[in-house]
Amino acid sequence: MGDTESNAADRATDSGHRFAIDSITDDELTSAFTEDLWLDRVARKVGFGKLSALLPGEVPPSYLYAVVLIVTIDTVLNGRAYLLGEPVVYFQNPYFVFQPMTLLAAVYGSRALRTRYHRVMKEMDIEDRASTPEQLIDIVPNWLPWVFFVFLCGVNYVRVLSLGGPLTVYREQGLSVFVGWMVANPIWASIAAQFLAVYLAIVLLAPWRLWNSDVGIDFLDPEGLGGLRPLGELIKHAYYYLVAGLIAFALLLYTPGISAPELERTAATNVSFTVAWIAAVATVAVGVFILHRFMRQHKRHELRRLKKAKQRQMENPWDIAKYTVSPDKRDIVEEVDSRIEKVSATNEYPATFSIWSQLLLSIIIPKAAQLLIAGL
């Protein structure tokens, strides 16, 4: 009987339409995000939008931009070096293959994370709950990828200047190295800029904007996490992408010394990885802390509000031995008590051993990988 009533409720109609409880599938939520990312817009400007339109299905221009340019540049530069008898980077360090793989993963990860964030906003009903939902829904500012791109290109050019400038690089290291510094690296920087912008927007900007919005906490959440599990899980998921990137970074930094023991690992190598690792840990730590403080603040505020509401219905509300509730107010007090129980039962993210252990392991693994590889 109970199952029949439950199924009937799920299939109830409102003016001939099914309830939203089963009108939107997981696939529909995932595929609903079709907007261009910053890198898609850049790719369209250099012709990959037209190429995307010629292909079957809906292939984002950024995918074509990454695949075509990475494969073309790597093939041409390394093929030329091989034919001329110059050093081929993949022969010197076979683990360098992780660079193009990481770049391709970054392009995929950018769209995958942004698509999942769109789904999270749907799951949390932000459009209906927030007075200015666009502040949360349109989470990646248009200027943020440009900031990362300009910064990364600036760092690249400073390194070129430290080698004597573009002409010196061309004369002393050849055309392949020159093209690598002046053409390939800015392209790689655009890919990295897109991923970093999406990552930081999700991990830092989304919790901050949520805290400063009027969304609040869903204390009726049956999972007891205030309705914030989707966002918390996404922050954790985004950090996993960064963990994979850090491990690939460690392989790129340290494996030349494995393949060629005569190459010395300098202090700068260790510092470079440690700085990247600390920065990554700091982002996820700050994001989780903001989410935790947001939940804690709203929970404490709601409990104080309910406590005051209950006290107004009682006599001697501060004395456990003397307090009384008149018969005509008992239903109100019982209702407030029920709400207090729901609020008190809401955990503050990250709330479980499983969540904590996953976060701690993902923080430790990159550093452990670096120490392991460096010790070989």
Determine the pLDDT at residue 320. 86
The band of 15, judged by pLDDT with boundaries at 50, 70 and 90, is very low
* Token digits of residue 224: 């007891």
Question: Tokens 């698509």, residue?
Answer: 115
- Residue-wise pLDDT for 246-259, tens only, equals 888 888 777 654 44
The band of 270, judged by pLDDT with boundaries at 50, 70 and 90, is confident
- Residue-wise pLDDT for 147-166, tens only, equals 999 999 999 999 899 889 99
Distances (CA, A) of 283 to 128, 230, 278: 29, 18, 9
Cα 163 to Cα 182: distance, rounded to the nearest angstrom: 13
Other beta carbons within 10 Å of 245:
22
Whether 14 has a pLDDT exceeding 70, the answer reads no
The band of 208, judged by pLDDT with boundaries at 50, 70 and 90, is very high
- Residue-wise pLDDT for 46-104, tens only, equals 999 999 999 888 899 999 999 999 999 999 988 888 888 877 878 877 778 888 999 99
* Token digits of residue 294: 């947001």
Determine the pLDDT at residue 42. 96
CA dihedral (113, 114, 117, 122) positive or negative: negative
Across 291-306, average pLDDT: 92
Whether 11 has a pLDDT exceeding 70, the answer reads no
Cα 313 from chain centroid?
47
